[in-house]
Amino acid sequence: MTPISSLCVYCGSSRGVNPAFIPLARALGQEMAQRKIRLVYGGGRVGLMGACADGVMNNGGQVIGVIPQHLQDREIGHSGITELKVVDNMHTRKRMMFDLSDAFCVLPGGLGTLEELFEVVTWRQLGMHDKPIIVLNAEGYWDKLVGMIDSIIDDGFAQPSARQYFSVVGSIGRLFDLLAAPAETQEPDYPERI
């Protein structure tokens, strides 16, 4: 596997109700900086997005944020990151984030996070890329999502191979173990929780 130099993190622009999520996002950012892995994310300064970006920046790392103009106009863009790219719309944002990234990590988030996850999983299913996609199942947050995907498979709307398009891990350490493993030896964790 080619070493990962940039990781796209999809996560909430809210804090969520679980107090463990903000420290988790910061810790991921800190670990990325220590490993010299650039963060690519949605450019926000709030919620888990801002916490992850701050974790990278506060530890000497590099961050590229990509934000659409209509969100930048609401003054939620992060002005303290390495580079903030302002684009015309959400479609351009997602494509640019994809192009800038070697792999994807999904932290807790809402509908936008789900939409981003399903897009890159679907693109992988269609053979449009083979970049790793890893869901970090903090506090069992994604247990119901994993269950829903299992149900879709059981009901015949997806093949069992759909489980191979992404991994579900229970720790930041396991996330980086998977990213460092040669692709041919990777066996997705499905599911795992912390």
When pLDDT is cut at 50, 70 and 90, the band that residue 2 belongs to is low
What pLDDT score was predicted for residue 181?
81
DSSP 77: B
What's the rounded Cα separation, in Å, for the pair 191 and 167?
8
- Is CATH 3.40.50.450 the right assignment for the domain spanning 6-181? yes
pLDDT (mean) for 150-163: 94
Mean of pLDDT values over 65-94: 94
pTM (predicted TM-score): 0.92
3 vs 95, more confident: 95
Mean pLDDT of 119-125: 95
Look at phi and psi of residue 14 and say left if phi exceeds 0, alpha if psi is from -120 to 50, else beta: beta
**Residue 189 banded pLDDT, cuts 50, 70, 90:** low
Query: How many other CB atoms sit within 10 Å of the CB of residue 160?
Result: 9
Lowest mean pLDDT among 2-6, 58-62, 63-67, 68-72: 2-6
- Of 177, 184, 99, 110, the residue nearest 145 (C-alpha): 110
Helix (H, G, I), strand (E, B) or coil at 160: helix
Q: Bin 159: left if φ > 0, else alpha if -120 < ψ < 50, else beta.
A: beta
133 SS3 class: strand
